[in-house]
């Protein structure tokens, strides 16, 4: 059904994940990729989405578009994180169904799973207990997307599949302190501290929570795998199956950046979920596995940060 000439629309093609998918598909020989900036197409507008998709007539839609951010952003803008993400995904899913798109790949997040679920997180744990309060708004939106894809798959036997990545990082990441995730925020903090005579770096929480990180090019490879294969189930975790403490992450980034100053942990700030390790056995069982180890991925990300540092406003300490 899908070949190198298939019309593929990547929603969010300029973001970290979307751009990695675009690069990977191009490298693999796909020649009919489509994307449009948010300035030209507001994915929250159903009519605009329908008009655009009717124009390009995609065979495949990859939904890598979302309003994203860390704990601070989720806490400050709960309505926007819930409403805007539902609008984006609902429009894409409903129009894909309306137009008879052959394959739909929905990208979510490991935050869809309960806060205190057993580790590692299995796909069947979805909706079995309360969510983590610091990102429940984003998580709720993504859960509705997963269930919509499951419903279409069940009722209409369409090839709609959801991939739930662990914490992603990599080139083209977001390094803005007010909206970035922990890994890119640490890279920028340690770099700026190094440039400021190895100043003290203050980090949120205790450093004890454990997190798993996947390099974005590995996520893109998982999407291509899902594109080229008809996956037998509706939901798959995508990760490394390995985690480390935030403290260990900080030490690793500090070493790669070359910062030699002190680290202070602000324990008045929240830690978030104690642990989020993905069970990736389902993806492994059908033939996909990550390739980039954490240190290599962080080094690649830091190199990209340095190459694009003029785009990031350096804040004074």
Is 103 within 8 Å of 63 (Cβ atoms)? no
**Predicted confidence band of residue 180 (pLDDT cuts 50, 70, 90):** confident
Q: How far apart are CA 241 and CA 177, in angstroms?
A: 28
* Residue 314 pLDDT exceeds 60: no
- Report the Cα–Cα distance between both ends of the chain, in Å, rounded: 55
The reported pLDDT for the residue numbered 132 is 87
Alpha helices in the chain, H assignment, sequence order: 16-27, 46-56, 71-76, 78-99, 136-156, 182-195, 216-228, 246-257, 281-286, 294-307
> Given this model, what pLDDT does residue 313 score?
60
Average pLDDT over residues 19-26: 98
Find out whether 167 is annotated in a ligand binding site.
yes
Average pLDDT for residues 214-242, to the nearest whole number?
Answer: 97
Distance between CA atoms of 103 and 227, rounded to whole angstroms? Answer: 8
- Which position has the higher pLDDT, 315 or 150? 150
CB 95 within 8 A of CB 50: yes
For domain 8-173+212-242+276-293, give the fold: Rossmann fold (3.40.50)
Task: Output DSSP code: residue 122.
Answer: P
Within 13 Å and on the Cβ side, how many CA atoms surround 211? 24
Residue corresponding to tokens 């839609």:
61
Flag whether 4 is marked binding: no
Is residue 100 part of an annotated ligand binding site? no
- Residue 231: which of 104, 61, 99, 93 has the closest Cα? 104
User: With pLDDT > 70 as the criterion, what percentage of the chain qualifies?
Assistant: 98
97 assigned ligand-binding residue: no
Q: Are the C-beta atoms of residues 24 and 221 closer than 8 Å to each other? A: yes
| Token code pair at residue 19 | 């751009």
Please tell me whether 207 is known to bind a ligand. no
Q: Are 248 and 212 in contact (CB under 8 A)?
A: no
Say how far apart CA 227 and CA 190 lie, in whole Å.
Answer: 38
Residue ranges of the domains in the chain? 8-173+212-242+276-293
Average pLDDT value over all residues in the chain = 94
CA dihedral of 293, 223, 31, 43, whole degrees rounded to 10: -120
The answer to whether the beta carbons of residues 212 and 243 sit under 8 Å apart is yes
pLDDT of 79 > 80? The answer is: yes
Enter the tokens of residue 159.
Answer: 């090839």
Window from 94-103, 159-168, 264-273, 301-310 with minimum mean pLDDT: 264-273
| Residues involved in catalysis | 138
């Amino acid at each position: 059904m899908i070949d190198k000439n298939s019309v593929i629309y990547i929603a969010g093609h300029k973001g970290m994940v979307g751009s990695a998918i675009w690069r990977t598909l191009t490298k693999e020989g796909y020649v009919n990729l489509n994307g449009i900036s948010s300035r030209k197409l507001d994915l929250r507008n159903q009519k605009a989405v329908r008009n655009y998709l009717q124009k390009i007539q995609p065979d495949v839609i990859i939904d890598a578009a979302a309003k994203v951010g860390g704990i601070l952003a989720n806490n400050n803008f709960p309505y926007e994180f819930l409403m805007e993400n539902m609008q984006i995904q609902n429009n894409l899913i409903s129009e894909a169904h309306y137009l008879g798109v052959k394959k739909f790949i929905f990208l979510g997040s490991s935050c869809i799973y309960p806060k205190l679920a057993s580790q590692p997180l299995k796909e069947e744990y979805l909706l079995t207990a309360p969510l983590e309060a610091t990102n429940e708004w984003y998580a709720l939106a993504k859960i509705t997307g997963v269930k919509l894809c499951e419903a279409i798959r069940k009722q209409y036997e369409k090839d709609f599949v959801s991939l739930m990545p662990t914490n992603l990082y990599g080139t083209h990441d977001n390094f803005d302190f007010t909206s970035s995730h922990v890994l890119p925020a640490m890279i920028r903090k340690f770099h700026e501290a190094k440039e400021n005579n190895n100043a003290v770096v203050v980090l949120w929480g205790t450093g004890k929570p454990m997190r798993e990180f996947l390099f974005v090019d590995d996520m893109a490879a998982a999407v291509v795998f899902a594109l080229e294969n008809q996956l037998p189930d509706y939901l798959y975790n995508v990760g490394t199956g390995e985690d480390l403490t935030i403290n260990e992450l900080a030490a690793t980034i500090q070493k790669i950046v070359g910062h030699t100053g002190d680290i202070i942990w602000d324990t008045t700030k929240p830690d978030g979920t104690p642990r989020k390790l993905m069970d990736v056995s389902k993806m492994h069982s059908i033939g996909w596995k990550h390739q980039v180890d954490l240190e290599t991925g962080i080094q690649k990300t830091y190199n990209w940060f340095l190459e694009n540092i003029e785009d990031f406003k350096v804040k004074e300490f």
